[in-house]
Amino acid sequence: MPVIKHPRIREPLCHEWDRKAQKCGLRHTVYAVNGDQYTGEWQDNLKHGKGTQIWKSTGAIYSGDWKFGKRDGYGSYSVPDPVTKEYKKMYTGWWEKDRRGGRGVYFYANGEQYDGEWRKGLRSGWGKMHYKDGSVYEGQWLKDKPNGQGVLWLPNGNRYEGGWKDGKKHGPGKYFYPDKGQLLEGTWVADIPKCGALVDFERDNATAPTEFPLPEIELHDPAAVLEEARAMFDDSQN
């Protein structure tokens, strides 16, 4: 009985060439059409693992972790100085889906610095901010603004401890005047103290205390006052 041989089915050459062109594992520098260049690891034709990217348009460099084509993990981002052309580190820390996410330090062009938590590229969580004027804020953040509980130290030595909302002092708080030996304790609304009491605080250690100490006053418990007001309102309705 004659043996019939069937020809082997071969895939089109274009498929074979495409498969061989797929980038996977450690590769030398790969240049994009726009001039960007990447050196590092790949998986399924995507940047994945450790690698360094240089953007031609800005000269910026990212070196760190990648995940399926996006910066994800730990890495640093640097940009060239417009005058000296020397590279200055702008951010070092954790990334998530190509944006700052997790703990990291950001160096601003004006000399300010933030060290803390990030979410979706914005300061959110707990962090410490050093401002250009010498002020320092440490506390909670939400969408790039102080929000929650935090402390603000001013260059003159004064400080505020208390609530914040949308970047402004808001809610119960304490404002310390160490040079005068005084303390303002009260409630703030949009950076403005609406009510409170000013008392002496460590007056003996003050560098420029007031001429006379403040008279002592009896402070009422706000919760008790509120409960009493509610009781009076209920009695009036009966």
pLDDT digits (tens, 9 = 90+) for 29-85: 898 899 999 999 999 889 999 999 999 999 999 999 999 999 999 999 999 998 888
Q: pLDDT tens, 215-233?
A: 565 555 555 644 554 555 4
Residue 214: predicted pLDDT: 58
- Range(s) for CATH 2.20.110.10 in the chain? 108-233
**Beta-strand runs (E) in 81-121:** 87-96, 99-107, 113-119
Residue 46: predicted pLDDT: 92
18 has pLDDT over 50: no
Strands 37-43 and 145-153 come out as unpaired
Q: Answer whether 115's CB lies under 8 Å from 94's CB.
A: no
Percent over 90 (pLDDT), the chain: 61
Class of CATH domain 108-233:
mainly beta
Residue 222: predicted pLDDT: 54
